[in-house]
Amino acid sequence: MKKYYLTTAIDYVNGAPHIGHAYEKILTDVIARHRKQRGEDVYFLTGTDEHGIKIQKTAAERGITPQQMCDENAAKFEQNWKELEIDYNQLIRTTSLEHTQIVQKIFKKLLENGDIYKHSYTGLYCAGCESFLNPRDLDENGCCPDHKKKPEEVTEENYFFKLTKYKDKIIEIIKNDETNFIRPDFRRAEVLNQLENIEDISVSRSVDSVSWGIPVPGDESQVIYVWIDALSNYITALGYDTENPSENFKKYWPADVQVIGKDILKFHSIYWIAILMALGVELPKNLLAHGWITIDETKMSKSLGNVISSKSVMDEFELEHPDAFRYFMVTAAPIGKDGNYSDDDFKEKVNAHIANNIGNLLNRTLNMLVKYFDGNLEQDFISNDLKSAATDTLDDIKTKFDKFEVAEAAQSIVNLADTANKYVNDTAPWSLAKEGKMQECAKVLYNVLETMRYIAIMLSPYCPNISQKIWEQLSLEGNVADFKLDELNWGEMKLGKIAEKSTISPVFLRLDSEIAGDKKKC
């Protein structure tokens, strides 16, 4: 069985999760679920990043210990992923003993190999980035362009990682890379540009300035500064060990895709790659940098008070499961581009795509099957009018997922439903029935229901609950998510009794519909 290892960024736990964090986890979850449908042995890692000055400061402001705050907020992330049905295999916390011990071993190995050295340094430190900034990267007010705050001038004796030693090798890899491991490939130029100006990086802080971190082995005066700690999670979670890597590590590493936001691509495409080279560990196959989610076209920020969580959206619309939210988020932007959330866009899109396009198609077809054929599908109904549309869509979504074009793949599924709707309108099975052309009418219904089976399977990574409802309305047994794409062939729709009047119900209620009544807000 082919393995597929995918990871998300690990979230800072100095606050609660918001829809930006949720976007990344849903995106990764949809890819993971699709890979399972391809018959692969998927391992999906997510986690929380729990050390550093931001966490130390926020905990101090709240009068609690950093560990208390980490425990409290990590639980909120975990709860949020549960609500969104993020089906990960492991959630790593960087304060766990296993992680801490392996990070110390990694640090020690890098030190022994001469990749880490001690050096006195004065630099501009941005607590928001947990990083020293280069003066040329500041904005016109001398502030960090991301955090809009003036970095602090800090002089310290720290440990440094010899990033410059790996610069040429990384440039060469990226330039000659035919696999385009930096995704989407329009980000390549940006990384190459950043590589031009890199310097060795500080990988520790003095305990006088930051105490909340993993101690440097053999030097109690320093803690390991976040990036070596945080980035290593991708291998420590699998049981990487500098001397004796675990079976799990040997099985799943290198990662097939590491999903991250565009703001941390530099840390992954340069620092992480260099650390792996220094450790002699294979490089990840893909780094997928997604765009940012804004709210009503505005960047989310605590000061603007516009930070929203998936829970607030689900509560506002009284959603019984996360499917509509998952669908909206993951289709909010083409891969790598920024996306936007607004209540109106959310309602409009899920109503149009899921309730109207897909839901109504199923509903009206099943109703006709009951009305004209007592809910039965027979052997001689089988027909191929929509065969190529459905099978081409299946091929297309596979190709798109291989390129991480998750929103684009969803659009292909919706286009297939459009085609089927148009087919129903053009063939007008109700007229065929009226004219007594029952064989022709039956064939139309067969084509649509068989297409619906394809749609349920392909939609399942995005909307696991709605797909299962479609599956059950089609009278199919088992779990739609378990169906493997390789086994999906046209013409294999179950025959016999499919529907009864009493069992037909909408698979997704319009968010502002009369059926939803006053239960749904709009």
Nearer to ligand MSP, 70 or 366 (CB): 70
- Would you give the distance in Å from CA 322 to the centre of its chain? 14
Task: Write the CA distances from 14 to 10, 133, 200, 455, 515, integer angstroms.
Answer: 12, 22, 28, 40, 42
Q: With CB under 6 A as the contact rule, which of the stretches 99-107, 215-223, 257-265, 391-399 interacts with ligand MSP?
A: 257-265
Choose which of 70, 174, 264, 410 interacts with ligand MSP (CB under 6 A). Answer: 264
* 325 is a contact residue toward ligand MSP (CB under 6 A): no
Binding mask 386-405 for ligand MSP (x = CB under 6 A): --------------------
Nearer to ligand MSP, 67 or 439 (CB): 67
Catalytic residues: 18, 21, 126, 129, 144, 147, 299, 302
Q: With CB under 6 A as the contact rule, which of the stretches 16-24, 60-68, 309-317, 342-350 interacts with ligand MSP?
A: 16-24
DSSP reduced 3-state for 211: coil
Q: Please give the Cα distance from 59 to 12 (Å, whole number).
A: 13
Q: Please give the Cα distance from 64 to 71 (Å, whole number).
A: 11
41-49/90-93 β-pairing: parallel
Q: Please give the Cα distance from 455 to 323 (Å, whole number).
A: 15
Nearer to ligand MSP, 26 or 499 (CB): 26
CB of 342 to ligand MSP, least distance (A): 14
Phi-psi region of 478 (alpha: psi -120 to 50; beta: other; left: phi over 0): left
* Torsion angle in degrees (nearest 10) through CA of 175, 178, 179, 184: 60
CB of 233 to ligand MSP, least distance (A): 6
* Residue 287 bridge partners (DSSP): 182, 258
Choose which of 20, 151, 184, 213 interacts with ligand MSP (CB under 6 A). Answer: 20
* 249 is a contact residue toward ligand MSP (CB under 6 A): no
Q: In the window 181-240, what residues touch ligand MSP (CB under 6 A)?
A: 230-231, 233
Residue whose entry in the numeric block shows the structure tokens 């239960």: 519
Other Cβ atoms within 10 Å of 249 Cβ, number: 18
* Residue 298 bridge partners (DSSP): 295
* 260 is a contact residue toward ligand MSP (CB under 6 A): yes
Q: Please give the Cα distance from 280 to 257 (Å, whole number).
A: 19
* 21 is a contact residue toward ligand MSP (CB under 6 A): yes
Q: Please give the Cα distance from 522 to 348 (Å, whole number).
A: 11
Contacts of 179 (CB under 8 A, 6+ apart): 285, 286
Among residues 58, 45, 81, the alpha carbon closest in space to that of 12 is found at 58
Task: Write the CA distances from 82 to 290, 319, 461, 469, integer angstroms.
Answer: 22, 15, 15, 20
Binding mask 277-306 for ligand MSP (x = CB under 6 A): ---------------xx------x------
CB of 49 to ligand MSP, least distance (A): 3
Nearer to ligand MSP, 269 or 451 (CB): 269
* 9 is a contact residue toward ligand MSP (CB under 6 A): yes
Nearer to ligand MSP, 232 or 393 (CB): 232
Q: In the window 48-107, what residues touch ligand MSP (CB under 6 A)?
A: 49
Choose which of 5, 6, 10, 205 interacts with ligand MSP (CB under 6 A). Answer: 10
CB of 9 to ligand MSP, least distance (A): 3
- Which helix (H) or strand (E) segment is 420 a member of? helix 406-427
DSSP state, residue 495: P
CB of 470 to ligand MSP, least distance (A): 30
CB of 137 to ligand MSP, least distance (A): 17
* Residue 316 tokens, joined: 């506002």
Instruction: Note if the bond before 254 is cis, omega within 30 degrees.
Output: yes
Mark out the alpha helices in 306-405 (DSSP H runs): 310-316, 323-330, 343-350, 361-373, 387-402
Nearer to ligand MSP, 49 or 115 (CB): 49
CB of 136 to ligand MSP, least distance (A): 22
* 12 is a contact residue toward ligand MSP (CB under 6 A): yes
CB of 175 to ligand MSP, least distance (A): 25
Q: Please give the Cα distance from 470 to 474 (Å, whole number).
A: 6
Q: Name the burial class of residue 49, with classes exposed (0-12), middle (13-18) and buried (19+) by CB atoms within 10 angstroms of its CB.
A: buried
Nearer to ligand MSP, 252 or 381 (CB): 252
* 23 is a contact residue toward ligand MSP (CB under 6 A): yes
CB of 337 to ligand MSP, least distance (A): 11
* 261 is a contact residue toward ligand MSP (CB under 6 A): yes
CB of 196 to ligand MSP, least distance (A): 23
Task: Write the CA distances from 509 to 16, 316, 408, integer angstroms.
Answer: 30, 15, 24
Nearest residue to ligand MSP, by Cβ distance, number only = 261
Nearer to ligand MSP, 9 or 507 (CB): 9
* 11 is a contact residue toward ligand MSP (CB under 6 A): yes
Nearer to ligand MSP, 308 or 397 (CB): 308
Length of the chain counted residue by residue: 522
Nearer to ligand MSP, 20 or 322 (CB): 20
Q: With CB under 6 A as the contact rule, which of the stretches 56-64, 151-159, 160-168, 255-263 interacts with ligand MSP?
A: 255-263
Q: How many chain residues touch ligand MSP (CB under 6 A)?
A: 19
- Interface residues with ligand MSP (CB under 6 A) are 9-12, 20-21, 23-24, 49, 230-231, 233, 260-261, 263-264, 292-293, 300
